[in-house]
Structures are given as C-alpha cells and as structure tokens.
Amino acid sequence: MRFGQFRNIVKDALEHAGIIARFLCCVHVTSNYLFSTVHVHGVSMLPTLNLSGDVLILDHVSPRLGKLQVGDLVSVQSPLNPKRVLTKRILGMEGDTVTYFDPSRGDTTLTAVVPKGHTWIQGDNVYYSFDSRYFGPVPYGLIQGKVIYRAWPIDGFGSLGH
C-alpha cells in the first residue's frame, strides 16, 4: 500500500468519524434539552395512562421557560430517590392553596400552600399514587419535562393536556 492510499483511508475515516460525532451531538442535545420519549407504566395515573404502559413524548423546553400550569402532566425526578422518575399531574403552582384527600387518614381532606419555587403533583389514581401528599411540594428544578403526546399505544395517540 502506498502512502497516498493510506492517507486517503485515514482522511475518509476521520471524515466519517466527524459525521458520526456531529450526529451524536445532535441526538444528545435533542433528547436532553428539546424532546425525548419515556416509557411509563403503573397504577398511579389510571385512567389517564394505561397500566401496561405508555410511551410519552416529553417537552424539555417548557419547564425551563416556566411554561407549566395546573393540569399539565409532568415527568419529575423523585425527591426521595434520584434514580426514580415519576409521571404526575400538577395540581398546584407556587402560592396556590391545595386541598387534597389523604386515603391513609380516612375521609379527611387537608390543605397545603405551595411554597415559592415548588409545585404540587399528584397521580390521577388518588388511592394508589405516591406523590406530594406523602413527600410534600416538589422543587421546580426536579421537573424534567412536560408530557405533550402519547405515542404508544397507537390507539391512544394524541395530546394529554388538561
């Protein structure tokens, strides 16, 4: 093999490596800062989400811009276990007074004021959801994304807004 051929092979390999590196950077930026998908399953969001699981599309821009409101579904890093991600509905923003039902205390309702920089989240299935009723208001910084669409199952495709 001549030196010129070797140089061309190295040049082509570096060119391909550059294309792959740019592609991976785009994937990283898109999935961490713009949009991503998440697979969610469990009973806490019944009947909105399926017990067997849903694939949801998350918007990562809205939480950073403060474009969340009561009724939005959000993906939140658990305040008690950072390795766990929860999907819940926002029931209160900072300054709101939230009245909630605590199944562990019988038929009583309780109230809480959401402090500055926090949100109150709850699952739609109040009897089987581990949420703000147990660990309190969630710091806004733990919100990873706003759920904008259900991508799977296909018969449930669409917006999951208010």
Quote the DSSP letter at residue 137: P
Residue 55, pLDDT above cutoff 80: yes
What is the Cα–Cα distance from 148 to 62, expressed in whole angstroms?
A: 10
For residue 31, give Cα distances in angstroms to 27, 35, 47, 128, 145.
6, 5, 28, 30, 11
pLDDT single digits (tens) 112-148: 899 999 999 999 888 888 899 888 999 999 999 999 9
Alpha-carbon distances of 124 from 66, 69, 109, rounded to whole Å: 23, 16, 16
Give the residues across from 138 on adjacent strands: 119
Q: What pLDDT score does 70 carry?
A: 93
Nearest to 119 by CA among 138, 144, 143: 138
Annotated catalytic residue within 11, 31, 36, 44? 44
**pLDDT surpassing 90 at residue 156:** no
Among 67, 75, 88, 129, the active-site one is: 88
Annotated active-site residue 88? The verdict is yes
Supply the pTM of this predicted model. Answer: 0.78
Active site residue 116: no
Q: How confident is the model at residue 107 (pLDDT cuts 50, 70, 90)?
A: confident
Tell me what pLDDT residue 90 has: 95
How confident is residue 161, by pLDDT bands cut at 50, 70 and 90?
Answer: low
CATH code that applies to domain 37-159: 2.10.109.10
